[in-house]
Chain A
Amino acid sequence: MTDITQELTRKNHHPAEWLIEKALFISGIASIVFISLIFLFLFKEGMLTFKSVSPLDLIGKWVYDPYDEKNIFKVMWQSVSEVPKYSIVPLVCGSFLVAFPATVISSVFGIGCGIYLSEIASARVRETLKPTLELLAGIPSVVIGFLMLAVVATFVQDLFHTKFRLNAFVGALGVSLVTFPIIVTLVEEALRAIPKELRDASYALGATKWQTIWKTVVPAAVSGISAAVLLGFGRALGETMIVLMATGNAALVTLDMFSSVRTMTANIAAEMGEVVQGSEHYYVLFLVGAILFTMTFVLNICSEVVINKMRRKLRM
């Protein structure tokens, strides 16, 4: 079939056709251009940080402490002070403290819901459940952030008696609502791509439905499922409005899930509005953006490679 269409189109070398094809080609590579420009501009501005800030300062800084009367190595983000401190450790810490629980929550629910949709639910349930989940994906993150701030934070504090009303866990709950639909969609797709013959063979050997799911279907789809989790983790790291509104924005180095934290994304959003363009602080914020972008980029590439591998395997 494609041979026919190729044969038929080979003949028309009209100049207008050529022009249209070139115009379409330019639109086609626009995505590549934009991704490259994002890379270029983030790193171009971010690298200017090192004009005045040493790479070690991004970890911590020796600061004279008048109380102890000696220099202390301070790992903190304190951009607006006499001696600005630009340690990204608390920010990275905060990002992971939100993204990790969020991914765990949304993965458990996402994989469970994916299995339900693909293996157990009837076609009718699936037809109604999937559009509803798409609606969930369509809720703007600022709305979720607002509800976390106004309603859920108080509820969580009453439940766990936490010191901070706004903390990483509240943020993680909100972020998991955003990553959940992404993970469900990809898990379901991965499970449904498993050939029916595999399930039939398992049933014919006497396996029960859940033995088939656990021992045959899920292992066969494990690469697709892990790609979904990776992608969800990338989204969780990049989520901005929810963490900006619900995590308390205190740049602390901590591993306590119920502590206030400040993520890389929230830090950029909160501080970029007030900085002087071309100042040291401005460049550092771009550098934080560049680091964040690199992290999510690597996660995206990884999940894509895994998905492509799975597709190729299933085709064979």
Chain B
Amino acid sequence: MRESIVSNLTVKHDNLSENFMNGLVRIFAVVPLIAIFLILWIIVKNGAGVVTGSFLLLAPTDGMTQGGIFPCIFGAIAKTVLMVVMALPLGVAAAIYLVEYAGDGIVFRLIRAAVNNLAGVPSIVFGLFGLGFFVLFVGRNLDQVLKTGLLFGQPCMLWAAATLAILVLPVIIVSTEEALISVPQSHRAASLALGATKWQTIWRVVIPQARGGILTGAILAVSRGAGETAPILFTGVAYFLPHLPVVNLFGFIPMVNPFDQFMDLSYHIYIMATQSVDAEKTLPIQYGTTLVLISLTFLLNLVAVLFRMYFRKKQGLVTI
């Protein structure tokens, strides 16, 4: 009813300046879209020919002017998995505390402010913090206490992943929180009325319904963490490594060595573009690496966005 009144009231004023303004803001919306597609088009156009099987599966050769980027892909995946393993439990637990336990007192507001601020900390500051705190403070002190020489007290994958974990923490917290809030309060009341304790209610009733949102947060965090460069600059990434960061557990089970440095996709783009011996000559490699990185993050983001749309729709049906 009201909709129709408003549209009747506005429909009359179709004059020139109104149309001009409509067109203007439409341009403001369209230009960034064009920018996105231009970015993608340039990368795909220049990178598609480079990305072949051998590019993906070989190590760089000839002073990093030939060969592939396999160690970078390997490092990026290993680092990101390690990061999620650290960040996801902490972030989900923090969100559960915020939604289910904290109420809305001073503690809630303090945590809220801290999460928002953490999201706004410049990425290079995370890099400094990772170096000062993880590598030099935690690492060096661990080495002294455990008498391990120089194992923890140097840049390595573990500290890079830990630094990134703090960086993506707000992403996971916010996404999980949203998912938890969207679970109807009546479901909690019903579970409690059946005699379940608060934790049983959260574990058996709330979390299963919020799974989609938690997953979305995890995917967004992975995509964010995979693309960040500045936080890992001084905490574990390497320009070039002749071997993969792999160690044989008990002598024969190969596993990723978190105490080794690693090569990374995003860092590879940076050094190839700015510090390569011949940046012109390696331009195809740069485009190829960029295409691989952006395919990875885009795919993850797309999945996350679709997931969220799907779960929001489903949640919408439930509450109606």
**Chain A contact residues, CB within 8 Å of chain B:** 1-2, 4-5, 8-9, 12, 14, 16-17, 20-21, 23-25, 27-32, 34-35, 37-38, 41-42, 44-45, 108-109, 111-113, 115-117, 120-121, 129, 131-136, 138-147, 149-151, 177, 180, 196, 199-200, 203-204, 208-210, 213, 231, 234-235, 237-241, 244-245, 265, 268-269, 272-273, 277, 285-286, 289, 292-293, 296-297, 299-301, 304
Contact = CB atoms under 8 A, between A and B. Distances in A.
Given A21-B101, A27-B90, A241 B230 contact: yes
10 contacts: A9-B192, A38-B133, A129-B29, A129-B33, A139-B297, A142-B266, A177-B35, A203-B6, A234-B120, A300-B120
Nearest to A241: B229
Interface string B275-297: 00000000100100010011001
Nearest to B8: A203
Nearest to B22: A120
Given A238-B120, A239-B122, A292-B122, A27 B94 contact: yes
Nearest to A293: B125
B120 A143 contact: no
Contacts of B84: none
B166 interface: yes
Interface string B89-131: 1100110111011100001001101111110111111111101
Contact of B32 (A113, A150, A245, A296): A113
Which of B110, B122, B234 gathers most chain A CB within 10 Å? B122
A265 B231 CA distance: 11
A199 B32 contact: no
Interface in B208-246: 220, 223-224, 226-230, 233-234
Given A140-B227, A301-B117, A30 B132 contact: no
A1 B185 contact: yes
B28 A38 contact: no
A238 B131 CA distance: 18
B173 interface: yes
Interface of B: 2, 5-6, 9-10, 13, 15, 17-18, 21-22, 24-29, 31-33, 35-36, 39, 42-43, 89-90, 93-94, 96-98, 100-102, 107, 110-111, 113-118, 120-129, 131-133, 136-137, 166, 169-170, 173, 185-186, 188-189, 192-193, 197-199, 220, 223-224, 226-230, 233-234, 266-267, 269-270, 273-274, 283, 286, 290, 293-294, 297-298, 300-302, 305, 309
A231 B192 contact: no
A277 B301 contact: no
A300 B117 contact: yes
Given A27-B97, A203-B10, A235-B120, A112 B169 contact: no
B94 A269 contact: no
A268 B233 CA distance: 10
A185 B113 CA distance: 19
B102 A37 contact: no
A121 B132 contact: no
A307 B318 CA distance: 31
A24 B96 contact: yes
A115 B173 CA distance: 29
**Secondary structure call for the A interface:** helix
Nearest to B294: A143
B12 to A, nearest CB: 9
Contacts, number: 289
Given A31-B114, A129-B29, A199-B6, A265 B124 contact: yes
B221 to A, nearest CB: 12
Give 4 nearest A-B pairs by CB, closest first.
A140-B227, A238-B122, A112-B28, A28-B97
Contacts of A277: 136
**Secondary structure call for the B interface:** helix
Contacts of A133: 32
B39 A31 contact: no
Contacts of B132: 41-42, 44-45, 286
A31 B94 contact: yes
Given A203-B9, A289-B125, A113 B29 contact: yes
A143 B33 CA distance: 17
Contact of B93 (A23, A120, A204, A273): A23
Contact of A143 (B6, B170, B293): B293
A58 B286 CA distance: 38
A34 B227 contact: no
B228 A4 contact: no
Contacts of B10: 203, 208-209
B122 A240 contact: yes
A272 B122 contact: no
Contact of B128 (A16, A27, A117, A272): A272
Nearest to A275: B234
B93 A136 contact: no
Given A109-B31, A146-B286, A31 B294 contact: no
Nearest to B5: A200
Contacts of A113: 25, 28-29, 32
Given A116-B29, A145-B270, A269 B199 contact: no
Contact of A150 (B21, B230, B283): B283
A140 B270 contact: no
B111 A32 contact: yes
A23 B199 CA distance: 12
Contacts of B173: 31
A238 B93 contact: no
Contacts of A199: 6
A42 B125 contact: yes
Contact of B18 (A136, A208, A244): A208
B227 A38 contact: no
